Structure 1
Amino acid sequence: MKHKPAKQENRRIINHKVLRQGTGVIALLMPLLVEFLSDQDERLSSISISYWTDSGDIFVGSLVAVGFFLAAYNGTGACDKDTEYWISKFAGIFALIVAFIPTGCGIDHICDIPAWVNKLTHGHLQFIHNLAAILLFVCLYMLINFFARRAKSKGEDLRSDIYWLISLCMLIGMPVVYYIGLNVDWYNPIYGVEFVGLMLFGSGWILAGSYKSNPNPEPPDNIEWVKEIEVHAKEKHNPTDISVSAVDVYYFEATGCWKDLFLGCGPTGWGPHWKWWTNFNRVRNQPIFMLCGNIGQDDTYAFGIGKQIEWEVPKEIDNINSGDRKLYLFANDWSSKYGNNSESVLVKIYKKKAN
C-alpha cells in the first residue's frame, strides 16, 4: 500500500473546531459533575466551593483543561495575533488562576490552603479568585461576540443570531439570575450565575466547533480586473481614482489586518451591528473598523464592504456632479478617532462586464 505521509500527519493536528468542542463539552459537564459528586448534604453555594469537596479534583482538572484549550486557541481571524488571539490567552490564564487559587472555604470542615497559595496571595485569596472569575467570564463573553461577527461576515445569519443571543443572555441573564437568587431559597445566587454562564459558554463553543465550513466564494465569472489598492486605517478617505456611474456593478475582495488603537482585526471589523453600538460610526449599523466605501468623500453614499461584496452604484448619484463621482475606501471608525489607527488592508477591485 502506498504511504501517504501528509494525510497521516494531518490526522495528528487538533484544529480550532476540536478545541472549541472540547472546551464546550467540559464547560457543560463541569457544573453538573462537581455538584453530583461533591458528597455534600446541602447544595453548593458556588461551583468554586467544590474545590474543598470530594469533587475538587474534577473542578481543578476541568478548569486546567479549559485553561490550556483557551491558551492553545489562536482564533481564526485575519491577523496572526489579533484581539481574539489575546483574549483567548488571557482567558486561559484566568481559568488557571480560578483553578489553583481557591475561593474561601465555606464548607463545614478544616480547609488546608496550600502554603504556596497563601504566600502568593498575601491574604487576598478571595479577592484574587473572584477577580479572576469575573475577568474569565468577561473574556468568554467577548469570544462569543467574535464568533457572531465572523458568522455574520460569512452570511451565516442564523448562526450569528444564535451567538448574539447567547452573548446577550450572558450579559443580561447572569445578573438577572443573581438577583432572583437573592430572593429565593432553592439556589445560591453565586452558584446560579456560574452555572448559567458556563452553560451558555459551553453551548456557544460546541456550536462554534460543529458547523461545516464553507469555502470562500469565488469571484463571479463575468467581471474584469480594475485595480488593487492599499487602504490605510489612518486615512479618512483612501482614493481609488475610479469614477463610478449609476448602476455600474463592482466586486471587492479584501485581505489583511489593521488596528484600531491596539485592537487588531480584518476588513470585517470588530464588534456587533447593534444600532446603539454603531451610532457614532461613520457608517451606522455596520461594525466598527469594517472596510467601507463612499462616493465623492460623501458618507451619504457610504456602504459596507467587509471581506467580499458585490456592490451596485446607486442611481441617486445622477444628482452628483460628474467630477465628484470618485470612489473612496476607509475603515469605519468614529470621525474624530482616526489618529490612533494604524496599518492597512489590501483591496482588489473588479467591475462587472456589460451584457
Structure 2
Amino acid sequence: MAGEFQEPYLITFNRLRKSVGFLGILFPLVLVLWALVFGECTNLQNSLSNYYYTTSGDLFVGLIFAISWFLIAYKGYDKLDHVLTSFAGSCAILVALLPTGQNMDEQCSIRDLDELAWRTTVHNILAILFFLTLAYISYFQFTKTSGNMTSEKVNRNKIYRICAIIMVVALVFIPVFSVFPIFPNVIFWMEWVAMAAFGFSWLTKGGFILADRV
C-alpha cells in the first residue's frame, strides 16, 4: 500500500471525503423537501429514483452528478482505490441518465417517459453495482493501513465494516420487503439507509469523527 498523503493533499482529500459523506446522507432528505416545497408533493415516493419524475428531478440528477464527480476525482491511496471509486461514480452517472420506470403518482409526477423495460433493468443493476462497490471500498479499502494502527484507526475500521455490512443488508432487504412488505415505501427507506451508511463511512474517512490525535 502506498504511504499516507502529505499536506496539502491530505486536507484536499479529506474535504472530498466529507463532501461525499454529507451528500450521501442528505441526498434523500433534500429530494423529499424540494418536492414538498416546490411541487406540493406530500406523498413519499416509492424509491429515490422515482423522484426523477417529480419537481426534484433536476436536483436528483444534479446531486448524483456531484457525488459522481467527487468519486471520480478521488484518487485514494492506491490505483485500486481510484479504479473502484471511478467505477462507482460512472455507475451513478448512468443511473441518472437511465431513469427508472415511469412514476405513476399522479399528484407528484410531472414527467412522462416511454416505458422501456431494458432501461429500468439497467438502472437497477447499475444502482446495485454502485452500492456494492461502495460497500467493498468501505470494508476492504478504507480498513487498510500503512502500519500505524492507532486506537482511533481500530475504531474507524469497525465503523467502515459496519457501514459496508449495512449497505449490503439494505440491498438484500429491498427485494425481500418488496415481496413481504412490513411498512410502506420500503425501497425508499432501505435506499436511504444504504446512502446514510455510505455517507457516514466517507465522513469517518474524512476525519469528521475519530480522527487520529495530533
The two structures have a TM-score, normalised by structure 2, of 0.79
Q: Secondary structure at the match of 1:112?
A: coil
Aligned length in residues: 195
| 1:25 pairs with 2:22 | yes
Q: 1:36 to 1:178 in 2, by over 3 A?
A: farther
Query: Aligned partners of 1:141, 1:152: CA distance in 2, in Å?
Result: 21
Q: Secondary structure at the match of 2:137?
A: helix
| 1:96 pairs with 2:97 | no
Which deviations, in whole Å up to 9, do the C-alpha atoms of 1:115-135 show, x marking residues without a partner? xxx7xx976211111111111
| Alpha-carbon contact 1:151-1:159 (below 8 Å) kept | no
Greater fraction helix: 2
| 1:44 pairs with 2:56 | no
| Alpha-carbon contact 2:23-2:199 (below 8 Å) kept | yes
- The code of the aligned residue for 2:181 comes to N
Q: 1:178 to 1:13 in 2, by over 3 A?
A: same
Q: Secondary structure at the match of 2:42?
A: coil
The structural deviation recorded for 1:110 is: 6.1
What corresponds to 1:84 in structure 2? 81
Gaps of at least 5 residues in structure 1 are 1-9, 216-355
- The code of the aligned residue for 2:197 comes to L
Q: Secondary structure at the match of 2:35?
A: coil
The structural deviation recorded for 1:176 is: 3.6
What corresponds to 1:241 in structure 2? none
The structural deviation recorded for 1:150 is: 1.7
Instruction: Give the counterpart of 1:135 among 129, 132, 141.
Output: 129
Q: Secondary structure at the match of 1:46?
A: coil
| Alpha-carbon contact 1:166-1:204 (below 8 Å) kept | yes
- The code of the aligned residue for 2:25 comes to L
Which deviations, in whole Å up to 9, do the C-alpha atoms of 1:305-329 show, x marking residues without a partner? xxxxxxxxxxxxxxxxxxxxxxxxx
| Alpha-carbon contact 1:145-1:163 (below 8 Å) kept | yes
Q: Secondary structure at the match of 1:38?
A: helix
Which of the pair has more CA radius of gyration?
Answer: 1
What corresponds to 2:190 in structure 1? 193
| Alpha-carbon contact 1:152-1:160 (below 8 Å) kept | no
| Alpha-carbon contact 2:163-2:197 (below 8 Å) kept | yes
| Alpha-carbon contact 2:102-2:112 (below 8 Å) kept | no
What corresponds to 1:57 in structure 2? 58
Identity within the alignment, %:
28
Q: 1:110 to 1:146 in 2, by over 3 A?
A: same
Query: Aligned partners of 2:110, 2:85: CA distance in 1, in Å?
Result: 36
Structure number with the bigger relative contact order (C-alpha 8 A, sep ≥ 6) is 2
Query: Aligned partners of 1:147, 1:154: CA distance in 2, in Å?
Result: 16
The structural deviation recorded for 1:212 is: 4.0
